[in-house]
Amino acid sequence: MTCQQAEPLPEGWRAAALNQGWMYRDITHLGNQGTLISALLAERYPHSCEDVWLRRIAAGEIRLNGKLLFKDRPLPAQAELLWHRPGWIEPAIPDSWSVEYDDGDLLVINKPSGLPVMPGGGFLQHTLATLLDQRSRLLGEPLVPKPVHRLGRFTSGLQVCARQPTTRAALSRSFQPASGTRKLYHAWSQRVAGLEFGKSLVVKTDVVERPHALLGWVWGPLPQSDGLIRRRRTAHSELKLLDRCPQGDRLQVAITTGRPHQIRIHLAQLGSPLLGDPLYLNDQRISDLATPGNGGYRLHAWRLQLNDLHLCCEPPSTF
């Protein structure tokens, strides 16, 4: 019997590793009184059914008002629930990047595809935020650069960070829709009907929250029929055709709003999802088997006009 060797990681990658777990905190109110704890947790965390929460209670992972639970019970009038999620293995990530701008406060990097910016979607330690913190502490820097906005895990390109809290707050306002900040992306999509060289196509449809089998709710395009919608946000994208080949179109996409997964959603709304996108499909459908953090698509934050600062980083050679 032979032991299969794991394939070596590319240079600049961090291996998959076990983290320390995480504590989730929930506060209940009078309206939850009498509800079984397993039922409430299944409602708030729809990725796990009641049977899974019963097993977690039996394993001693849940505390009610500071006391360990080992069996399910109805909730009192007011309660604090703590779920100590045991450690899990986080996937390998690229952990190197180039610096595009650094004035000692504002830091802009060229984020590689595959690196999550903030914790979420199964990532806790393997994130840009954590790597920035670790590197700053290792170098003895007094202030840690922290992300101002969030690129998708598999979106590469210009990621803005800042060291001073006041700078982060000001930059965060600059990313609001009415600020005038302009962001340009490169994207590979299925062929966009009606889009020709030298012309622009503006998309103004809302992004909306729709039901999702794994996550409960997820941002997506407007459904073709009268589907259930929880929330909606206005969004504005402008498309230009850069290249056309049998596989699809390479686009320049300008956005002045930064809605969740906006470019992916607007292209899916047009019937031209990003090539390889596992979540947003043709006919405004959303896959029940994928989440926003799944990869396969190619999207690159190419240019950024932020106040008087103009930045550019070209897509990787594999784009």
Q: What is the SS3 assignment for 237?
A: strand
**Burial class of residue 248, CB neighbours in 10 A (0-12, 13-18, 19+):** buried
Banded model confidence at residue 1, pLDDT cuts 50, 70, 90: very low
pLDDT band at residue 46, thresholds of 50, 70 and 90? confident
233-267 pLDDT, tens digit per residue, is 999 999 999 999 999 999 999 998 889 999 999 99
pLDDT greater than 90 at residue 174 = no
For 182-312, CATH gives 3.30.2350.10
pLDDT of residue 298 exceeding 80: yes
Residue 223, burial from CB neighbour count under 10 angstroms (0-12, 13-18, 19+) = middle
Q: What is the CATH number of domain 22-86?
A: 3.10.290.10
pLDDT at 226 over 90: no
pTM: 0.87
Average pLDDT over residues 310-319: 91
The C-alpha atoms of residue 151 and residue 108 are separated, in whole angstroms, by 12
Query: Which candidate, 181, 184, 180, places its Cα nearest to that of 263?
Result: 184
Q: Residue 6's pLDDT band (boundaries 50, 70, 90)? A: low
Query: What average pLDDT does the structure give for the chain?
Result: 92
CB under 8 Å to 18, separation ≥6 — which residues? 87, 88, 89, 90
Residue 158 or residue 1, greater confidence: 158
How far is it, in rounded angstroms, from Cα 19 to Cα 293?
A: 19
Is the pLDDT assigned to residue 35 strictly greater than 50? yes
Nearest CA to 91 out of 155, 12, 4, 14 is that of 14
92-175 with 182-312: one CATH topology?
yes
- Percentage above 90 pLDDT, the chain: 79
Residue 305's pLDDT band (boundaries 50, 70, 90)? confident
Retrieve residue 138's tokens: 């290792």
Query: Nearest Cα to 175, choosing from 163, 186, 162?
Result: 162
Mean pLDDT of 30-46: 91
Query: Is 312 a residue whose pLDDT tops 50?
Result: yes
User: What's the token pair of residue 107?
Assistant: 């830091």
> Residue 285 pLDDT more than 70?
yes
| Cβ count near 32 (within 10 Å) | 20
Cβ proximity of 117 and 111 under 8 Å: yes
Beta strand 155-162 with 299-306: parallel, antiparallel or unpaired? Answer: parallel
Q: What is the pLDDT of residues 86-109, one digit of tens each?
A: 999 999 999 999 999 999 999 999
Domain spans in the chain, listed from the N-terminal domain onward: 22-86, 92-175, 182-312
Report domain 92-175's class: alpha beta
